[in-house]
Structure 1
């Protein structure tokens, strides 16, 4: 009897949660859906049926891929390739930095380890926009302006990914590291043979964090790499707004293409990402 009452209570709670989640999801997805539909319309029809709202607002009379074809034949295609390249190398190198830093802060015994971690957290809490302009001036002095290195380097030391891996490494029993040391492994060997094989999920989660931070970056690429040959997609989208007007159809198409890549990655790796953020390792 108690089990049946609990089951009915869980069912009612699930229905209430669903009734709340559906409107929130609709409101959240509406701008993206409208942008996607608008990207399939001719430019002159995008705002024609927006006010008053009607069924034609969401269901265009004619559908065309001309906006996407024009975008892929424009300089935006190179910007999209630049974004993919910068994000790929940023994630690859950022994971190396995050794994080494998280491992050192969680496992290696050295004086001041807690203070170093606290300093890292405080630095991560400082908004990047507050240091972007002086940092870009330093990068220009070092000759890193309009270069892939200038785009990638600031994203390597991501505090959130380091924090995630550190917390996971701290949850791995220390006896495993001690056993590895007794077997003659170096500290790096312990990381490579014990910790990394156990951290596939957290590594994927940290990689997604690095990718999203790198992919959505706008201010830093705008400051350090405005040249057309190294321009990234978020900056290139703004080029569709010219002095003579704004080509909203192509702008929406470019925005949808830019959003589709991280969306597909997050959908593909979402199970690993949610598992990595919910788990902190196996406790002794």
Structure 2
């Protein structure tokens, strides 16, 4: 009797896992569907995007005559230069932002000083306030400092990211204090402890913070719109919005540009997915 009950429970457990797997796959397909629809319409002439009256017919999500004309049209637009500008701005932000954010997180988690709780509260509040709320007065300051239409002006607001500091500090708090004490006994200063103990143990967390910095810059729209009006310093999202005409919109070219700007961060996220998941699952664990 007990064996039968055990087999029944095991079978129900297996069926439950199978049902959850099917449900997860269906939800994943629902999230993938808009991206697939965008990709299919990037392979069509812009006039065929909304040609089908029934949105659920198979021609809406598949095409038998794909064309790369929309992607070829991107070569004659400003999106190419804007994409390289976005890659440059995002890469520099990640490199220097990780240096600044990791040092700030280390100071808030390992170095005792008066008022560190107040500083941490300021850091938390900084990423709770939407950046768009302070973008206009900040743009006026950058204009007075002659930083408008410069790469430095596009990069600087993204270096001190409160979310990245919060994530790194939470991870640093999980590092045993015994390692810090051992480093101090070996004659290491705070810089040596940070460089030789904290950084090597925090690679997954650093990658997660780096992805946060990258996505913040890559998807930024309001700040490049205010501070990057020069055609030589325009970024990807602004160039994509400029593809639409004044009186008509070529949806095929717009969708092709959207796919290009989506594939780059998607490839980076997939490449570092294992480290990012590890950083999330281990953050805050002692």
State the distance in 2 between where 1:133 and 1:170 align. 36
| Cα offsets for 1:41-61 (capped at 9, x unmatched) | 122222212535422222213
- Structure 1 residue 15, shift from structure 2 partner: 2.6
State the distance in 2 between where 1:82 and 1:193 align. 34
- Map 1:14-163 → 2, pairs under 5 A: 14-49=17-52, 51=54, 53-163=56-166
Match of 1:235 in 2: 238
What TM-score, normalized by structure 2, do the two folds share? 0.94
Match of 1:265 in 2: 268
- How many equivalent residue pairs? 283
Are the aligned partners of 2:43 and 2:67 in contact in 1 as well (CA < 8 Å)? yes
Are the aligned partners of 1:146 and 1:224 in contact in 2 as well (CA < 8 Å)? yes
Are the aligned partners of 2:149 and 2:227 in contact in 1 as well (CA < 8 Å)? yes
- Structure 1 residue 33, shift from structure 2 partner: 0.6
- Secondary structure in 1 aligned to 2:233? coil
Are the aligned partners of 2:82 and 2:234 in contact in 1 as well (CA < 8 Å)? yes
Are the aligned partners of 1:240 and 1:248 in contact in 2 as well (CA < 8 Å)? no
State the distance in 1 between where 2:76 and 2:40 align. 20
Mean CA deviation greater in 41-50 or 87-96: 41-50
Match of 2:198 in 1: 195
Match of 1:253 in 2: 256
State the distance in 2 between where 1:282 and 1:18 align. 28
State the distance in 1 between where 2:124 and 2:8 align. 46
Residues 1:180 and 2:183 are matched in the alignment: yes
Q: 1:8 aligns with which of 8, 11, 22?
A: 11
State the distance in 2 between where 1:197 and 1:38 align. 45
Match of 1:224 in 2: 227
- In structure 2, the gaps of 5 or more residues are none
Mean CA deviation greater in 223-232 or 52-61: 52-61
Are the aligned partners of 2:47 and 2:251 in contact in 1 as well (CA < 8 Å)? no
What TM-score, normalized by structure 1, do the two folds share? 0.95
TM-aligned CA distance change 1:279 to 1:52, over 3 Å: closer
TM-aligned CA distance change 1:72 to 1:14, over 3 Å: farther
Are the aligned partners of 2:93 and 2:159 in contact in 1 as well (CA < 8 Å)? yes
State the distance in 1 between where 2:8 and 2:112 align. 52
- Structure 1 residue 5, shift from structure 2 partner: 4.9
- Secondary structure in 2 aligned to 1:241? coil
